[in-house]
Every structure is written in structure tokens, then in C-alpha cells.
């Protein structure tokens, strides 16, 4: 009779440990944000790359970027480039862009307490004495 009681207690302890393991795994997933949080980063990066590729391949936009006076006005981005970005990016994103020399660090001038997605593309002229710049796009959600 004593042996049957021990087997019952062992089954109860096994079930309790199994429940603890399942609850522990669920808590880890919830804490890391895997459950209930949408990851839009892949969509944002694909959208950014598509727009930057269009700008990179457009001769007029590329020339406007290379002609921008970033020495005297470091935040200057040609209106046609800004219009192309605003036209092609999804409505749920706020985007801004910046033109920098290719070898320099290109950062967003203002601090935003948000997740910021950024992509850059090199813009160059054709020829041996090519001038090179980078166009960097920064996007975030509200």
C-alpha cells in the first residue's frame, strides 16, 4: 500500500515540473517580445532598398545628389529626392534622408526615442575621377 502512494506522489511531482517548464518557456517568449509584437523591420528594409535603388539608377536624381552643397548646408537634400522618397515609402513610416561624403559617418541629427531603420546607398559619377557620396535614409513609425 505504501508503494502505491509513492507512485502517485511521483506522478504529481512530474506533472508539476512539466507545467513549470511550459510556463517558463512561455514567459521567456513573452518577455523577449516574440508574442504580440510585429516585426516590421524586414518590410521596412526592403522598402528602403527599393527606393534607394531607384534613386541610385536615376541619372537626374543621382546628379542632383552629387551637386548638393553639403559643405555649406549639411542637411540639404534635393526636393526631387525627397519627393521620390515620400511618394514611394509606405504611409505608416516617417522618413528623412541625409547626404554625406562616402567616407564619413552619416547620422541622424536629431534624437528620436524610437526604433529607427536606416539604409544607405553609394552615389557616384561615371569615370575615373568620380565623386562619391552616400544617401542615407532613416525611417521610423509613430
Mean pLDDT by 10 residues, the chain (142 residues): 68 92 86 67 92 93 90 88 93 92 88 91 77 92 86
Quickly count: other Cβ atoms within 10 Å of residue 29's Cβ: 11
Q: Cell 536629431 maps to which residue?
A: 110
Give the per-residue pLDDT at 37.
Answer: 59
- The C-alpha atoms of residue 103 and residue 18 are separated, in whole angstroms, by 56
Give the per-residue pLDDT at 85.
Answer: 94
- The C-alpha atoms of residue 109 and residue 98 are separated, in whole angstroms, by 9
| Radius of gyration for the alpha carbons in the chain, expressed in angstroms and rounded | 26
Give the per-residue pLDDT at 36.
Answer: 58
Give the per-residue pLDDT at 76.
Answer: 87
pTM above 0.75, yes or no: no
Q: In what order do the strands lie in the sheet with 93-101?
A: 93-101, 132-141, 117-124
Cell numbers of 76, please?
540639404
Give the per-residue pLDDT at 1.
Answer: 47
- CA–CA distances in Å: residue 66 to residues 30, 122, 137: 47, 11, 16
- The C-alpha atoms of residue 103 and residue 116 are separated, in whole angstroms, by 22
Amino acid at each position: 500500500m505504501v508503494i502505491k502512494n509513492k507512485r502517485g506522489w511521483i506522478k504529481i511531482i512530474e506533472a508539476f515540473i512539466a507545467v513549470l517548464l511550459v510556463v517558463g518557456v512561455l514567459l521567456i517568449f513573452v518577455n523577449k517580445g516574440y508574442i504580440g509584437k510585429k516585426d516590421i523591420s524586414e518590410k521596412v528594409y526592403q522598402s528602403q532598398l527599393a527606393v534607394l535603388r531607384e534613386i541610385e539608377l536615376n541619372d537626374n536624381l543621382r546628379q542632383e545628389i552629387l551637386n548638393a552643397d553639403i559643405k555649406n548646408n549639411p542637411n540639404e537634400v534635393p526636393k526631387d529626392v525627397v519627393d521620390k522618397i515620400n511618394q514611394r515609402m509606405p504611409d505608416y513610416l516617417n522618413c528623412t534622408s541625409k547626404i554625406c561624403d562616402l567616407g564619413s559617418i552619416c547620422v541622424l541629427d536629431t534624437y528620436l526615442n524610437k526604433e529607427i531603420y536606416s539604409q544607405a546607398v553609394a552615389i557616384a559619377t561615371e569615370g575615373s575621377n568620380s565623386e562619391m557620396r552616400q544617401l542615407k535614409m532613416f525611417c521610423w513609425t509613430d
